[in-house]
Amino acid sequence: MNRIPLGKKIPQPKGHDPSVLYPITRKPCEFRLYGYDLWRSYELSWLNNKGKPRVGILEIVYPTQSTCIVESKSLKLYLGGLSYERFDSAKGIEEIIRHDLAHILLPEWILVHIIEQAGFPQMTCRPHPDGICLDNQDIQIPTFQRDPALLSCAQGLSEEALYSDLLKTNCPITGQPDRGSVAICYQGRTIDHEALLKYICSYRDHEGFVEEVCEQIFLDIMERCSPGMLTLRCFYTRRGGIDINPFRSSHPIGPDDIDRARLIRQ
């Protein structure tokens, strides 16, 4: 496929068709950051050797050092095609997905895991991220266009975990809303909570892929507040059966450090 499928009517494959996967090149970043993107698909299905449908929840994790990200609609089309294929076990479909995504993303590593029906009862979700909720502040929101100048710091040094459930952005291709929570952990100059909430709410009309939005928030905080340590994670609600969870950090993180936390809105 040589055109982005978002916003277009694309026939659903009726089998394994990795050609529908569409890579989007990551934007270059001057700051050395680390992290990963965790995708969770709740509508995965395939056939066993007798043609009986199986279902599971698919988790895909790959690092920010990957050359590309995968476009979400193309992944849905690809997974929809696999629902017509027969596999001996969930491990078989995991290997196919891992191979095909590694081919287009060019990551240092990639994790693919299927939670089968027997594992559903063990899945848990949190009501919200850890830390102090910013959302109860009674404040005036000055703009719905991203404005990093809203960020400011108070006196002193802090080590805090903060979160907001009010993040909302828009897909740059379709204009569809993407909603989620943002969790921030930092050490350094104390970030003004009122200013931070105004800044998060300023993304309401901002257009950007969710991975880029998470990265932009991270970079704006680094530039405006210069924390000694910063981690930032966005928990986006599912759209088309998939939720996306980008994680960015000022310090190295590897495949053994993945946090698979899921929020109740997901």
Give catalytic residue positions: 171, 178
Q: What does the alpha-carbon distance between residue 99 and residue 107 come to, in Å, rounded to a whole number?
A: 11
Q: What does the alpha-carbon distance between residue 110 and residue 61 come to, in Å, rounded to a whole number?
A: 6
In the DSSP assignment, the letter for residue 149 is G
Consecutive H or E run containing 248: strand 242-249
Q: What does the alpha-carbon distance between residue 24 and residue 47 come to, in Å, rounded to a whole number?
A: 30
C-alpha distances in angstroms, 100 versus 67, 84, 187, 261? 15, 17, 39, 26
Q: How, if at all, do strands 153-170 and 132-133 pair?
A: parallel
112: number of Cβ within 10 Å: 21
The answer to whether residues 61 and 97 touch, using CB atoms and an 8 Å cutoff, is no
Question: For the chain, what is the largest distance between any 2 Cα atoms, rounded to a whole number of angstroms?
Answer: 67
C-alpha distances in angstroms, 34 versus 48, 79, 176, 246, 252? 38, 28, 28, 11, 5
